[in-house]
Amino acid sequence: MNSFRVIATKFRILKGGKIGLSMSIALIGSMLTLSSMKANAVTDNYFSNNVDKSHTYTDGGITIVNYIGVGDSTEIRTTSDGLSDDVVFLPYGVASTYVAIDADGDGTINGVLGTNLSSYSHYGYITNAGDNYYRTLSTGVNSVAGDTYTINFNLGSGANNITKADGIDYLVDPNPIYQYITSTPISSSLYTANLIFNGSNTISGNTDIDNGNIQVNGGVTFEGSIEAGSINVGTSGIANLNTVSGTTNSDIVFSGDGTANLNNGLTGNVTTTASNQGTLNLVGSNNQTVSGDVGVGNALKDVNSGVTGTTSTFNGTVNSQNVTNTGTGATTFQDNVTATNVNVNAGTSTFQDNLTATTTTITTGTGNFNTVSGTTTSNLQFTDNGTANLNNGLTGNVTTTADNKGTLNLVGSNNQTVTGTVGGVGASLEKVSSGATGATSTFVNNVYANTVENTGTGATTF
């Protein structure tokens, strides 16, 4: 086997921060040259070239280069960029710059690279060939701080991790020479990083853009953790969150009738810009918790939870046209629920506080109402032999779609009143139980059931 040695190696930075590698390899007795061999890129830096350095003025041997920060900017990520590359926001800006030169040292500016001279002041001078060359200075010319940077992911493009690094500002050297130096890092919390996804995008790692916005215009999968200020889901947007691991710390905003699929809960609120818009699904095999409020102001279209084998918990209020337990799993609502249709179906739905709905439907599942406080205002409908456990009465009717289906229990220590009719002629419930020990139960209207029983030592009035 022939031995070899590397006799020339050069690196250069390509677009997006990728590394280009050129080398020559000398074999014994022969020469093999590999030109412009592209190494596997692992990090793509964005907005590092966000400074215009093209403006210069020369007089008397002194040259001023005027750096201008571009400011708010958008860069594009395409399908040719590596799907396994890390994406890093690393913006450069300008905190201060030279803007003019006084070549005669008499206070009269000979060359100007900016406007609004009233905001400029003499900054220092340098002596060249016996003459004093003054410079003037402008500050706050598009520093990284306060700017907004957006990466637009084309259809089919992706990345591994997406992070937000500290930015860098150029500023003039405090010594009396004509050159720039870079600042200490500008905290990443002082600028905004946004992401726009246009569909069929996969982020295989973690996404952390602090308080920035993620715009979802198509189908996007985030396999890892997400840290953002908001996730905006448009009309055709489908956001699949934490499909492999991690958590999501962000608000979700439906700007159209899109869908957000949670796989490991949410720390944040869920809102919609118009009523009856947006679907929130708790999917997958994990137990999940939504910590914030859902549907503040405008109601969502659908909230689905209770996948078979899982427990879903909503810590805040829920306001949606439809609230559905999709499997045989359990869902607990710790705060008020407002809906048109509540579907307990075959699962177990527990409403710890107020429930206000038009109809609550139970098939073979169990609905537990007002287990902590509050009241229930809703019609209850049994479509199979499910169970409703009331802890603080009911304002509404109780019906069944087939005779001898459904069990209504008045449980707990509260005195309770059911205001509406229970069952009907030819559509009796299977069982109605009341009169828990220490409590008084009252049915204001007719009760139709195959079995009516007093379960404790309490009193029941029909």
Report which secondary-structure segment, H or E, holds 251.
strand 248-254
Separation CA 260–CA 231 (nearest Å): 9
pLDDT for residue 125: 52
Helix (H) or strand (E) holding 239: strand 238-241
120 band by pLDDT with thresholds 50, 70 and 90: very low
pLDDT at 104 over 90: no
| Mean pLDDT of the chain, nearest integer | 85
Select the more confidently predicted residue: 448 or 35.
448
Q: What is the pLDDT of residues 225-276, one digit of tens each?
A: 999 999 999 999 999 999 999 999 999 999 999 999 999 999 999 999 999 9
For residue 44, pLDDT over 90 is answered with yes
pLDDT level of residue 305 (50, 70, 90 thresholds): very high
Which tens digits make up the pLDDT trace of 199-228?
899 999 999 999 999 999 999 999 999 999
Mean pLDDT value across residues 35-64: 70
Map out the domains of the chain as residue ranges.
Answer: 4-40, 42-189, 190-461
* Residue 149 confidence (pLDDT): 98
pLDDT-derived band of residue 102, with 50, 70 and 90 as boundaries?
Answer: low
Give the DSSP per-residue string, 297-332. SSPEEEEEE--TT-EEEE-S-EEEEEEEE-SSSEEE
Q: What is the mean pLDDT of residues 116-121?
A: 44
**What is the mean pLDDT of the segment spanning 171-194?**
80
Per-residue pLDDT averaged across 16-42, rounded? Answer: 40
Q: Which two tokens stand for residue 325?
A: 């337990």
Judged against a pLDDT cut of 90, whether residue 310 lies above it is answered with: yes
Rounded to an integer, the average pLDDT of 441-462 is: 96
pLDDT reading at 31 higher than 60: no
Q: What's the average model confidence in pLDDT over 55-75?
A: 77
- CA atoms of 136 and 109, how far apart (whole Å): 9
Identify the band that residue 42 occupies on the pLDDT scale cut at 50, 70 and 90: confident
Please give the C-alpha separations between residue 293 and each of 228, 289, 337, 439, in angstroms, as whole numbers: 17, 11, 10, 34
pLDDT of residue 24 exceeding 50, the answer is no
DSSP helix/strand/coil, 190: helix
Average pLDDT of the segment spanning 87-113: 71
Asked if 74 contacts 152 with a C-beta cutoff of 8 angstroms, the reply is yes
Helices and strands counted in the chain (H then E): 0, 46
